[in-house]
């Protein structure tokens, strides 16, 4: 991953970041807004956008690496068993054709099995923390509609699940979406000196980080 993968960071801005000591996307993702305001024409709001987008780039990079590793493993497994499968097929008699109704049931079961894995996660939230979480997800859903539609829809899906209570079944993408939304909300409260709300957001962020460490 390159610094230029971050939205709004071109070659010139990347050189400026390196001069300030931020040589990687990881360094930007872990920075605070005040750390980046020494850049030319970068205020706290722009710095916050860069930090959040760097976090999104890291999350998407992790998902891509896992998908590539999974594909490589599957290919190796297919190569190692190809000869065995060919020999077995020559000995197996042709199986009776599956009736149309049975075929539909088999396809439905296969579709369910290949869907994204979900994790049962329970958040312990006060009423105020519940409102903070909803606000963070709504803002993230709206802000990401134009440049990260997948993450935006993940926020919307979490909002729907949140209506049934604080115990939810979340996919990897949904859990990452909650993490990014809460980080952005916490930094926003911090930048605007809303100390009480910042602490509420930090409490939620800690629970989300613990869930990501356990399941991802």
CATH node for 3-61: 1.10.150.20
Count Cα neighbours of 92 within 13 Å in the Cβ-side half-sphere.
Answer: 9
For the beta carbon of residue 26, count every other beta carbon within 10 angstroms.
15
Domain boundaries, the chain: 3-61, 118-215
Q: Which 8-state DSSP code applies to residue 3? A: G
Instruction: Report the sign of the C-alpha dihedral through residues 186, 189, 191, 193, in that order.
Output: negative
pTM comes to 0.54
For the beta carbon of residue 149, count every other beta carbon within 10 angstroms.
10
SS3 160: helix
Tens of pLDDT along the chain (216 residues)? 788 988 878 888 888 888 888 889 899 888 888 888 888 778 888 888 888 888 888 888 776 666 666 555 555 555 555 555 555 555 555 555 545 555 556 555 554 555 678 999 999 999 999 999 999 999 999 988 888 889 999 999 999 999 888 899 999 999 999 999 999 999 999 989 999 999 999 999 999 999 999 988
């Amino acid at each position: 991953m390159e610094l230029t993968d971050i939205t709004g960071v071109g070659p010139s801005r990347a050189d400026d970041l390196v001069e300030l000591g931020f040589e990687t996307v990881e360094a930007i993702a872990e920075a605070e807004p005040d750390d980046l305001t020494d850049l030319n024409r970068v205020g706290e709001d722009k710095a916050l956008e860069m930090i959040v987008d760097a976090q999104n780039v890291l999350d998407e990079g992790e998902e891509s690496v896992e998908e590539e590793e999974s594909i490589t493993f599957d290919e190796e497994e297919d190569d190692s068993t190809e000869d065995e499968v060919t020999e077995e097929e020559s000995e197996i008699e042709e199986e009776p054709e599956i009736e149309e109704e049975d075929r539909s049931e088999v396809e439905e079961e296969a579709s369910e099995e290949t869907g994204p894995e979900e994790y049962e996660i329970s958040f312990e939230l006060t009423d105020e923390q519940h409102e903070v979480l909803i606000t963070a997800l709504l803002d993230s859903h709206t802000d990401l509609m134009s440049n990260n539609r997948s993450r935006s829809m993940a926020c919307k899906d979490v909002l729907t699940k949140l209506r049934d209570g604080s115990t939810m079944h979340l996919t990897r993408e949904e859990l990452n979406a909650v993490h990014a939304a809460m980080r952005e909300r916490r930094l926003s409260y911090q930048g605007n000196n809303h100390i009480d709300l910042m602490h509420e957001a930090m409490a939620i962020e800690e629970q989300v980080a613990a869930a990501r460490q356990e399941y991802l």
